[in-house]
Structure 1
Amino acid sequence: MINQLEKSDKKYALTRTYTSRKVRNEYFDFLRGIAIMMVVAIHTYPAASITGYNTLGDDILLITRQILNSAVPLFLAISGYFLARKVLVSRKEIFDFWKKQIARVYIPLLVWGAGWFLLSLVKEPTLSSGLINLAKLLTGGFTVYYFVALIIQCYISLPLLQKAKFGGVICCIIISLLAIILTEYLIYKEGHNFPLLLYAGPIYLWIAFFMLGIYLRVNSNANYLKIGIVLTLLGLLMQIGESYFLLSNYGKGVGIKFSSFIFSIGLILLLFSPRLQQIYKTSKIGRWIAWIGEVSFGVYLVHMYFVTGFQRILGTDNWLVMWISSLMITLTTIYVLRCIIPASTLKKYFGF
């Protein structure tokens, strides 16, 4: 089944726009594409809308926003899925893997983070602020770059997580659920305002999803389709209820939470099921979304520059306008750079 999917990938090699060095899995690139579009949608979500939901349109907005909470879990599960069978036995194999994988995400982080660092120096031209912002640059503290710090922790943990059985998956799920409960308590009940890197960056919050991806690849014949459907529907209903509760009591709560983790676990089980992989059919739209998935790390690194710029230039809180504008200019930038800069240079220094 996987071989059939890989053969279909050859049909959508778009010259320089799609990597020809190795055959890719279109289905999972498609999922990456959907996930990164969800990420951009999250970051263009109108902040003014989260204070009140009094109309049907507001309710639809809230429900849509809850579905988007699965974006980061989906990325982590896909990463775990494709790293699950890495041969990491000897010390040399492990260190070579760490060196290669960490450099692949950390160097582009520094390149794109440098722009935010320079902007911070213009805004706060003091030595103390400069040192703080330098630390943010090096650790993924700018904008939404916490994910780089998170995925590096996943890479480091991979040799250990590969050894886990089903009990290890359950243990990781429990850890993540306890972590999100504690995070919700500190943010909503206690009113703490943590930096994104501090509360969303540690691996213990997200380890369930990376581990789930590993498990589903190692046990590729396991079929959790029915469980996935049940948890997805149940999790979505729980999210809607929990969001309304948090909004009415604390004035916020559309983002990640206990119920969103239940929803995300179900969605991963559903989307990773052999049945859905088999019924996926390639198409022009599918190939285009798959290309977005192939450059998803680049979209992640670049898009906040345009989101921030459009928020000031357009002066609108129209979610659809902001989302499409930010996504399209980001993709256009990446496409142009891929046409004029050697692929090896782009991949190493720019992330796509």
Structure 2
Amino acid sequence: MIPVKYTSNAAMKRHERAARSSYWDNWKGIAIVAVVIIHSCGELSNFPPDSLTGLFGIGLRQAVNFAVPIFLAIAGFFAGRGSSGPSGEFYRKRLTRILAPYLVWTTIYLVRDGLADSLTIRQVIKGYFFGTGIGIGYFVIVLIQFTLLTPFITRLNSRRKHFSIMITMTVVGVFFTYYFPALHPDSPLARFPAYALPFFVWYPFFHLGVYVSQQGVAGITFDRPRTFIALAFTFAVAGFIEGYFWAIQGNYGFGTSQLKLSNILYSASLFLAIAALSRGNSVFNHESWLAVAGRNSYAIYLIHMMLLVPFQQVANSYSGLVGVQPLYIFISASTTLIACVALALILRRLLPQRVATMVLG
């Protein structure tokens, strides 16, 4: 007779929480890999869009352009689960966790830049308030805005209100994005990071994450992962076509943007596929190096430009390597990711837990 092993409800819940944690950590790991790949692609803009390398670049960028949208959707997903209670307490805990590492690393970047060249007060102020201190800090500014909006979003009590606000804000964001970066690229509001700072250009992702955490994927009417995967693939192809169109018009930056409409639909569909798949058992439910990167994704986001730039400066000295962009990007991204994960793990081991949390999140 085979003995039966009884498991308590508490133990089962702990197991489910662990599985969910590994699942979402793996996806955060995939998203941070995508972020580093995006920032490794700077040389691709130097190739004609209709060349083989140019087409590879547009395709690669479209494939990984889910990075920030997925981070925001996952942030909304967990904010929707854990934002109950007084707003003041939620703000204090969440903003401290976001701001402390951001301020630490922005200061490190600015000190480094100040030692290499003199900085003006204006540059320092912009560095902190507009995210330019670490170059790509716009994401943190956007995340702060959504954190402030979280209690208002989570208090919505009907699907109609959720979808009315999501659709309205998405239309506002798309209009802004196409009016400035797409059609008026010489406008100050079309320059980075100005066009990426307003929360409404990223709006659907965070709110969609909150909605799914509260209503479930079935609240979207259909919840089969295959449907969302098919939609994501369709919109990815549409994104490649749109990206090529803008690139041959001379607006390569918008062609590879995460904010163009086709990419918004691609990223939203992909997040819904991820959420639908989370209810089953898959390879993403198990521990992996991606999960380790995912748990340290915020730290990697803040740190990686400090390491990627010098790595690419070394790589740029080999002209043959620059000409083979797939290999160039692979070496740049993988070297940076390995170094960032190693640095984060070393700091977590060396620093007291409270200090490590302030530095790394």
Same fold by TM-score, threshold 0.5 exceeded?
yes
Equivalent residue for 2:200?
204
Pick from 309, 315, 329 the counterpart of residue 319 of structure 1. Answer: 329
The Cα shift of 1:337 comes to 1.2
Pick from 165, 175, 187 the counterpart of residue 171 of structure 1. Answer: 165
The Cα shift of 1:50 comes to 5.8
The Cα shift of 1:118 comes to 1.8
Instruction: Tell me whether 1:81 sits opposite 2:77 in the alignment.
Output: yes
Given that 1:51 and 1:251 are in contact with CA atoms closer than 8 Å, whether structure 2 keeps it comes out as no
Equivalent residue for 2:357?
347
Task: State the alpha-carbon separation in 2 of the partners of residues 49 and 134 from structure 1.
Answer: 30
SS at match of 2:193: helix
Q: What are structure 2's unaligned runs of at least 5 residues? A: 1-10, 323-327
The Cα shift of 1:334 comes to 1.1
Given that 1:77 and 1:210 are in contact with CA atoms closer than 8 Å, whether structure 2 keeps it comes out as yes
Equivalent residue for 2:7?
none
Equivalent residue for 1:17?
none
Pick from 180, 186, 189 the counterpart of residue 174 of structure 2. Answer: 180
Instruction: Tell me whether 1:117 sits opposite 2:127 in the alignment.
Output: no
Equivalent residue for 1:159?
151
Given that 1:30 and 1:290 are in contact with CA atoms closer than 8 Å, whether structure 2 keeps it comes out as yes
Pick from 91, 94, 99 the counterpart of residue 101 of structure 1. Answer: 94
SS at match of 1:84: helix
Change (3 A) 1:161 1:283: closer
224-233 vs 138-147, which deviates more?
224-233
Q: What are structure 1's unaligned runs of at least 5 residues? A: 11-22
The Cα shift of 1:113 comes to 0.4
Task: State the alpha-carbon separation in 1 of the partners of residues 96 and 172 from structure 2.
Answer: 31
The Cα shift of 1:250 comes to 1.9
Equivalent residue for 2:38?
42
Task: State the alpha-carbon separation in 2 of the partners of residues 80 and 337 from structure 1.
Answer: 28
The Cα shift of 1:246 comes to 0.2
SS at match of 2:256: coil
Equivalent residue for 1:262?
265
Equivalent residue for 2:341?
331
Task: State the alpha-carbon separation in 2 of the partners of residues 255 and 344 from structure 1.
Answer: 37
260-269 vs 138-147, which deviates more?
138-147
The Cα shift of 1:5 comes to 8.4
The Cα shift of 1:139 comes to 4.1
Superposed CA deviations along residues 299-336 of structure 1, whole A, max 9, x for unmatched, are: 00100100111122222541111111111111111121
SS at match of 2:249: helix
325-334 vs 182-191, which deviates more?
182-191
Equivalent residue for 2:311?
310
The Cα shift of 1:185 comes to 2.9
The Cα shift of 1:290 comes to 0.9
Change (3 A) 1:112 1:271: same
Task: State the alpha-carbon separation in 2 of the partners of residues 4 and 290 from structure 1.
Answer: 21
Equivalent residue for 1:242?
242
Note the aligned Cα RMSD (angstroms): 2.5
Runs of 4 or more consecutive aligned structure 1 residues displaced over 6 Å after TM superposition: none
Task: State the alpha-carbon separation in 1 of the partners of residues 46 and 279 from structure 2.
Answer: 36
Change (3 A) 1:72 1:40: same
Change (3 A) 1:186 1:224: same
Equivalent residue for 1:14?
none
The Cα shift of 1:33 comes to 0.5
The Cα shift of 1:69 comes to 1.0
Task: State the alpha-carbon separation in 2 of the partners of residues 267 and 160 from structure 1.
Answer: 25
Task: State the alpha-carbon separation in 2 of the partners of residues 24 and 297 from structure 1.
Answer: 19
Task: State the alpha-carbon separation in 2 of the partners of residues 140 and 121 from structure 1.
Answer: 16
The Cα shift of 1:280 comes to 1.7
SS at match of 1:279: coil
Change (3 A) 1:122 1:67: same
Superposed CA deviations along residues 148-170 of structure 1, whole A, max 9, x for unmatched, are: 11111111101110123323235
- Letter of the aligned partner of 1:224 in structure 2? D
